[in-house]
Every structure is written in C-alpha cells, then in structure tokens.
Amino acid sequence: MKRLALGLALLASFSAQAQVPPQRLLSAYPAFLSRLDGRTLVWNDGTRTPLSGGHAFTSPADRLDRPDLGELLRQSYPACTPLHTPAYGEDPGRARPVAFFGRMYGGSPAAVKANLRSVDWFGQKLPFSRVNGADVALQAVENDLKALPGLRKYLTPSAGTYLWRVVAGSTRQSAHSWGIAIDLNTHYSDYWQWEGHREFAPGLTYRNRLPQAIVWAFEKRGFVWGGRWYHHDTMHFEYRPELSGC
C-alpha cells in the first residue's frame, strides 16, 4: 500500500515539473525533423509522429518501459548547473522512445554499425555514431578535457560505448545500442543497482565522485549525465542534444 501511494504521488508530481519545449527536438535533429504540426512531429520525409502515444501510464516504471515523445520531454535537464543530489523520481533523459531513436540511429545492430566511426578517446579507439554529429561532439569533449590533465584518471579507460543491449534488469533499450553513449572509468563510478536498491525505492542513497568540470564539459556538447538521475549512473554519458547543451 505504501509503495502504491508513493507511485501515485510520483505520477502526480510529473505534471508540476518543468518540461522541455518540443521545439528542442527540431533544433537538435534538423537532419531528420521538419516541423511541429500542433502536437504532432513531422519528419523530413513526411512521416508524422504524435507527441503523445495515447496510452495511460500505470506506474513510474511503465513510463520508462513504453515512453512516448511526451515522456521524453516531460522532465527538463539541468545542464551546466551546480551538481546536486537528485530528488525522488528526478531522471531527465532516462525515457528513450525506441521507435524515435531507432529511426535516427538504426533499428538493428547492422544498421547502427553502418553509422559508427572510431573516435580517439585519450588514445583509446571507441566506436561512436556519426549520426547527428554525435561522434564530433564526443571528440570535442575529449579535446576540451585535454586541457585538464588532472582529471584523466576519471576518464580512462572507458568502460565502453557501442553495445546492442537492454538496460540491466529491464527490457528497455540502452542508449549504448545506438552508439551514442560512453561509460567512463568504473573505478570512480557509482551506480544505483550496484548498491542493491530496487527501482523507485524511496531513500535511494546517492553517491558521486566525478568532478563537476567533467560533467559540464560533456553537457556543453549536448550530453546528459547519469549522475543527474535519482537512479544515478555516474559513469554514463549519452548524446541527447534535445535535453542538454549550455
């Protein structure tokens, strides 16, 4: 009963949170998106995608299991603001509509791999998508962070980029599947599942050891950071220019 009450409170709280203007999708992905027609997104080839999928969410987990574009935009991301402990349910960027991202980056391993290129990450060659300039953005982050050699231990070795998979413990497609995510050195990383927490459990213990300078360097280039999430994943950055950028 207590868990149900918490879930209902979280669902209600979404309506009061700052939302991302849908126009951010157009400016972030001009190679694919043309315009908004009311509450419908129009692709460059004329395909139309409603912002709302038309289904009623039954729980916070359901919002992540089958998100629509409205869910993607529901929580604003606090790019380039001071680091803080996220509030309960604060997970901007965890909702990833598979049809939307698959249409741009590839809906199968073969399709994604066709768009990967090797990016030099401090001497480590990492595959990253060239779609929407994601590879260029990651290379720019590396160039920016070269000026801060004292941070190198947090950055390398990378724990990986492209891997077609679902998020651990779920059926949700990982951003790594599309070649738009990078995990940093796990030795300095913290992850909510490693601590044995249940998803959406209240009082989840937050921990982060990454310096703010690293987070801001990524956010400046359009990446979101898993350390901004209540369900923290501090090694994880993914290219989401519709949400991030300074």
Q: Mind listing the pLDDT tens digit of every residue in the chain (246 residues)?
A: 445 445 544 544 444 456 899 999 999 999 999 999 999 999 999 999 999 988 888 888 888 999 999 999 999 999 999 999 999 999 999 999 999 999 999 999 999 999 999 999 999 999 999 999 999 999 999 999 999 999 999 999 999 999 999 888 788 999 999 999 999 999 999 999 898 888 889 989 999 999 999 999 999 999 999 999 999 999 999 999 999 999
**Does a structural domain hold residue 246?**
no
11's tokens:
């669902």
Q: Which domain holds residue 125?
A: 2-239
**Does a structural domain hold residue 19?**
yes
48's tokens:
């139309």
The pTM score is 0.91
**Does a structural domain hold residue 192?**
yes
**Does a structural domain hold residue 245?**
no
**Does a structural domain hold residue 120?**
yes
**Does a structural domain hold residue 119?**
yes
| Predicted pLDDT at 162 | 98
200's tokens:
């959406």
**Does a structural domain hold residue 88?**
yes
Domains of the chain: total: 1
Write the burial class of residue 164 (CB in 10 Å: 0-12 exposed, 13-18 middle, 19+ buried). middle
**Does a structural domain hold residue 218?**
yes
